[in-house]
Amino acid sequence: MGVYLVATHHYTGDEWEQHCLLLARRHYGADQVQEVPARHGGDLGIEAFTFNGRAFQCYAPVEPLSTAERYEKQRDKLSVDLRKLIVKQKDLQRLLGDVKIQHYIFLVPIFDSAHLVQHASSKSEEIRSEGLSFIAEDFQITVATDVIYAKERSEVLERLAKLVDVIPTPPSDISSWIEGNSQLTETALGKLAKLRLSSSAQKDYLEQLVVQFLDSENALMRLREKYPDQWEAATGAKVRKERKLVLEYPPGSTNSAADLTSIVRSLKGEFSRQVPALDEDFIDAMSWGSIADWLMRCPMDFEAEGA
């Protein structure tokens, strides 16, 4: 057996899971992949399944590791999760309904040991022998990297196609929104007054922030309609960043428009890493839109110069 593709990025467990489920949704169809959250109800040994009999388990150990160390961790993880199919068979039967699992796909970022294939083959036979009602007679385990979804992987990692376009908000809509949300805009304007900007520049700056906010909100709405999984990933990334704003950018550390631009650069990198399916235009609008949102709703603030 040859050496499989080695990941160039060291994924966290959550990152790898979201990456794999994105590829599965793109390959089989978003409406054909059912995610199985472990947070409420317990881990049942699978991360997702399709209605035609595929189950997915995604695992990314903390790298770097030697081939032997990686194999041992992957082997143990596979054994533990397959054991859950037996121990929690009643829960799985209720979960799967009429679906019979024929193909169990164990997805890992790096796969370079023939021993893992041998282990999977042995475990396939073991699970078949249990006579589980939701396991097909020809049940088989496949160990693979994301290269088995090469087309989808290329689309995600290289962003060959935009999921949705960022459509410029009409000027009339911008004016109407500012007039109808005076309290929010006044809050933001008060904060911008603490930066080194003239009074006229503050208003122009605020208007452009509102433009980015509306552009990003409209794009997110279209993303939610077409790709709800990507919308969830994008909004989740924004929420996680918002929760750390006070820690990463405490009042006094940001006191100029240049500092805001620096934060936006950081946001772009973080959104790009956490939601790799989004294109640069979307990430740019979402990053600036997030700044506008945080200024208006108060998660972000500044100290006046000399305070």
Q: Which residues contact residue 68 at a Cβ distance below 8 angstroms, ignoring those fewer than 6 apart? A: 113
In the beta sheet, which residues pair with residue 6? 110
Closest of 89, 108, 92 to residue 13, by C-alpha: 108
- Cβ–Cβ < 8 Å for 210, 292: yes
State residue 170's pLDDT score: 92
State residue 107's pLDDT score: 97
State residue 159's pLDDT score: 53
**pTM recorded for the entire structure:** 0.54
pLDDT tens, residue by residue, 6-31: 455 678 888 899 889 989 988 998 88
Statement: residue 204 has pLDDT above 90? no
Distance CA 16, CA 107 (A): 9
Measure the CA dihedral 144/145/151/157, to 10°: 170
Share of the chain above pLDDT 70, in %: 89
pLDDT tens, residue by residue, 243-282: 888 788 776 666 667 777 888 888 888 888 888 878 888 9
Distance CA 55, CA 92 (A): 12
Distance CA 212, CA 202 (A): 15
Averaged pLDDT for residues 180-192: 87
Distance CA 277, CA 74 (A): 27
- Cβ–Cβ < 8 Å for 189, 183: no
Pairing of strands 54-58, 33-35: unpaired
Lowest mean pLDDT among 102-111, 128-137, 147-156: 147-156
Q: Which residues contact residue 258 at a Cβ distance below 8 angstroms, ignoring those fewer than 6 apart? A: none
Q: Does domain 13-157 have CATH number 3.40.50?
A: no
Most confident of 5-14, 49-58, 197-206, 254-263: 49-58
Rounded alpha-carbon distances, angstroms, from residue 54 to 1, 134, 153, 222: 24, 11, 19, 30
pLDDT averaged over every residue in the chain: 86
State residue 57's pLDDT score: 96
Lowest mean pLDDT among 100-114, 156-170, 173-187, 287-301: 156-170
State residue 94's pLDDT score: 93
State residue 171 phi and psi, 5-degree precision.
-55, -40
- Cβ–Cβ < 8 Å for 33, 25: yes
Neighbours of 33 (CB within 10 A): 21
Neighbours of 54 (CB within 10 A): 21
State residue 307's pLDDT score: 47
Distance of CA 102 to the CA centre of its chain: 28
Sign of CA dihedral 104, 106, 112, 118: negative
Domain parsing of the chain, residue ranges: 13-157, 160-297
Strands (E), the chain: 33-35, 48-50, 54-58, 101-107, 135-144
Tokens of 56: 């997915």
State residue 158's pLDDT score: 60
